[in-house]
Structure 1
Amino acid sequence: MRSMKTYIQKNSTAYWRGISAMFLGSFVTFALLYCMQPLIPVFSEEFHIAPAYASLSISLTTGIMAFFMLLVSWFSDAKGRKIVMAISLSVSAILGIIIAFCNNFSILLILRILQGIMLAGFPAIAMAYVNEEFDPKIVGMVMGIYISGNSVGGLAGRIMVSTLADFSTWHIAVAGISTIGLLLSIWFWIALPKSQNFSPKKRDLREMLAALTKKLQNIELLMLYSISFLIMGGFVTLYNYIGYSLMAPPYNLSQTLVGCIFIVYLIGTFSSTFMGKLADSNGSSKVLCLSIGIMLLGCLTTVHGSLSIKIVGVALFTFGFFGSHSVASSWVGKCAHSDKAQAASLYLLFFYLGASTIGTIGGKFLLWYDWEGVVIVIALALVLALILSGVLLLREMRYKIYSAAQS
């Protein structure tokens, strides 16, 4: 059994360096990943393409990233966590700068695929690093802080790109956010503490597949993976297409004002940490049900015609999503007693496949039924996620009753 001294303790120097590096690494990853999202209507107009095709600038990147996370987590078992994450961030930022000079949408998609491959090196390994290196008593809180970097990065990427694209061009906007990403990637490499609880493992492909298969046979993990598919699919679908609704009559908002809608991402910064702490003290299953329920309520509220009420709905939806993701992702680490990187990479495989699959379907429903069609797709996904989280809650309650009866 590892000594507690090997863990990063709360309020130590390593703790502050570690959480700040993980926060900024998450910031860079999600700023680069989603900076294209507010540009989807711009791509539709500039390249004369349908919304579903324009959304491939997000869907292809998230989809390819999901698959490569499985390979990268296996690779990191042999090479280490920190070096893989640092290379992932810096090369992804360099690719973003190259994308800024692109004038052909097909070439842009190819570069976004390459960027997705490189971005795969951070999220799954980051989750494993947090579970391996930080004191288990604070893992839920640290995971919440890490995930809050998702919300801040997504917010900064979207708002900066929206504003710059409105006043100049999307090329300058993408170049700007990518340059910031490169500078922060260098700082990440310097600041993140080296792994203390990581032991290199050389495995062949069969061993990796065996480890992944074992995780998929765990019913609790499989339900968490399915929930991640559904909540992320709903989340990306809403943010992919809400710009079309807000830039059309009766709202007629500018690109900059639509970008300002993403300020509600700041709510995710709070909710991920808050819900993570709540799950540590009250149980993951209860908080997960609550968070998904808030997502569903927010989604349905966006159907209202009033712009202010619609924005409140987006805020509720965002609060619920980051809370759900924080709780579910930290729960995966607790369920996986071994091969944590593989367990985390499977979670994120389902997570980003949901973004690619449901996100693309949402574009079809936007064409067929306008914004109400998008809401139908999201609501169905969230109802399924709520059912699964309810099953997890019943399993947890049954286990507690059984344990009490045995004691």
Structure 2
Amino acid sequence: MKSAVAPFAQEVPPTALDKRVEQLTDTYIEKGTPMFMRTVLALFCGGFATFALLYCVQPMMPALSHEFSINAAQSSLVLSVSTAMLALGLLITGPISDTLGRKPVMVAALFCAALSTIASGLMPSWEGILLMRALLGLSLSGLAAVAMTYLSEEIHPQHIGLAMGLYIGGNAIGGMSGRLIIGVLIDFVSWHTAVLIIGALALIAATVFWKILPESRNFRASSLKPRSLVDGFVMHFKDAGLPWLFLEAFLLMGAFVTMFNYIGYRLLAAPYDLSQAVVGLLSLVYLSGIYSSAKIGALADRLGRRRVLWATIVSMLGGIGLTLFTPLWLVIPGM
């Protein structure tokens, strides 16, 4: 006699959803696993090194002006050439990583950036420093263009937001720390020594990144097609809204960086006569931005992106306005 429960004892074939869940579990990095911790720590180190190297020269621009007998605008080239080459490199390093792989491109980028920084600290001429800073910017594009792609490919979709948030946190802390370390050190050692120290720290960060970042498991190589690169570039500028967003980012970020480029010159001169170390410590104002970025994102989700964007632009203009006054107790909150 056949059992009445026999039909229910038969194995149920897996559905497409079951197979998809199993695939995610097998190939994606889950939160709480050792691989997740290794990934976010590696990308934190990478983001930290990227922005520490890029912006570490900002507080030492007055020292460069003095040593090479150049004005403030000429001194600012030490950051401008890096930023320009970084922007140019972003257009090509992403497609290169589609062919060579994510991790190899990011590792090479960090090591080249660290070595370029060390070389810039040894350069005797202004032109040599600018050349090394240009190579630095081009190198850093290999991490900036690829890191988020790596995360989106390797991290479980439910945890991408956390992973990217930690990576961006590394960017922000690196930008602050690079300015802070150089800004304080330059009051006690030469700018050459300060740059060599930040380059050595970046070399350590690059080594940690190389050793602990998991290899890609979901990357699929594709051939490098220059035509596809051009088509993708043109497609973005055919959109009605994107070019305006690009221009907006250019203007806002340009104003932000320019203000911090030149505020040091003002605070080192009369009537303030602050020391280089104190001016460097003012980089701590970046902590407010690290905190507010997460809060602004939450407000944008609740109140609307357009409304919050305009509010932050008005806030930024108000802060710049405060820096026009003479009292230091107004200038620092403005920053």
- Residue number in structure 2 paired with 1:219: 240
Deviation string for 1:313-368 (max 9, x for gaps)? Answer: 11xxxxxxxxxxxxxxxxxxxxxxxxxxxxxxxxxxxxxxxxxxxxxxxxxxxxxx
CA separation in 2, counterparts of 1:286 and 1:124? 29
- Can you list the C-alpha shifts for 1:241-289, whole angstroms capped at 9, x where unaligned? 0001111111111111110110112222222333345545665444434
- Structure 2 equivalent of residue 263 of structure 1: 284
Post-superposition shift, 1:139? 4.0
The CA deviation at 1:9 is 3.6
Matched residue type, 1:49: I
Q: 1:298–1:313: 8 Å Cα contact kept in structure 2?
A: yes
Greater share of residues in helix: 1
- Output aligned runs, 1:1-400, within 5 Å: 4-5=24-25, 6-279=27-300, 283-314=304-335
CA–CA distance in 2 between the matches of 1:231 and 1:265?
Answer: 16
2: CA distance between counterparts of 1:259 and 1:252? 13
Amino acid in the other structure paired with 1:210: D
Tell me the distance in 1 between the aligned counterparts of 2:249 and 2:101: 26
| One-letter amino acid of the structure 2 residue matched with residue 113 of structure 1 | A
- Work out whether residues 157 and 177 of structure 1, in 8 Å CA contact, stay in contact via their aligned partners in 2: yes
> Any unmatched runs of 5+ in structure 1?
315-407
Per the alignment, do residues 161 and 113 of structure 1 end up closer, same or farther by CA in structure 2, a change over 3 Å counting?
same
The change in CA–CA distance for 1:272 and 1:219 in structure 2 (over 3 A counts) is same
Asked if the contact 1:145/1:272 (under 8 Å) is kept, the reply is: no
Residue of structure 2 in register with 1:328 after alignment: none
* Pairwise CA RMSD: 2.2
Q: Which residue of 1 aligns with 2:11?
A: none
Change (3 A) 1:291 1:15: farther
**Gap change, CA 1:104 and 1:37, over 3 Å in 2:** same
Q: Distance in 1 between matches of 2:215 and 2:242?
A: 29
Letter in 2 for 1:63: A
The one-letter code sitting in structure 2 at the alignment partner of 1:123 is A
Paired residues in the alignment total 314
Q: Which structure has the larger Rg over C-alpha atoms?
A: 2
Q: Which moved more, 1:211-220 or 1:105-114?
A: 211-220
Task: Quote the residue 1:346 is aligned against.
Answer: none
Deviation at 1:155, TM superposition (A): 1.5
Residues 141 and 277 in structure 1, CA contact (< 8 A), matched pair in contact too:
no
Q: Distance in 2 between matches of 1:273 and 1:9?
A: 23
**Deviation, structure 1 residue 219:** 2.9
TM-score (norm 2): 0.86
Question: Percent sequence identity over matched residues?
Answer: 40
Q: Map Cα deviations across residues 287-319 of structure 1 (whole Å, 9 max, x no partner).
A: 4344333322222222222212211111xxxxx
Which string of whole-angstrom CA distances, capped at 9 and with x for unpartnered residues, describes residues 18-50 of structure 1?
222222111101111111111111111111111
Paired residue type of 2:226: L
Cα offsets for 1:87-115 (capped at 9, x unmatched) = 10111101111111112111111111111
For residue 137 of structure 1, report the CA deviation from its aligned partner: 4.7
Task: Call closer, same or farther: CA 1:52–1:309 in 2, change over 3 Å.
Answer: same
What is the deviation of 1:230? 1.8
Conserved 8 A contact 1:279-1:287: yes
In structure 1, distance between residues paired with 2:260 and 2:297: 23
Q: Deviations over 1:3-22 (max 9, x none)?
A: 64444443333332222222
Q: Distance in 2 between matches of 1:135 and 1:14?
A: 12
Q: Kindly state the Cα deviation for residue 199 of structure 1 after the two structures are TM-superposed.
A: 1.9
Contact 1:145–1:269 (8 Å) recurs in 2: no
- Aligned-partner residue type, residue 284 of structure 2: I
What is the alpha-carbon distance in structure 2 between the residues aligned to residue 294 and residue 140 of structure 1? 27
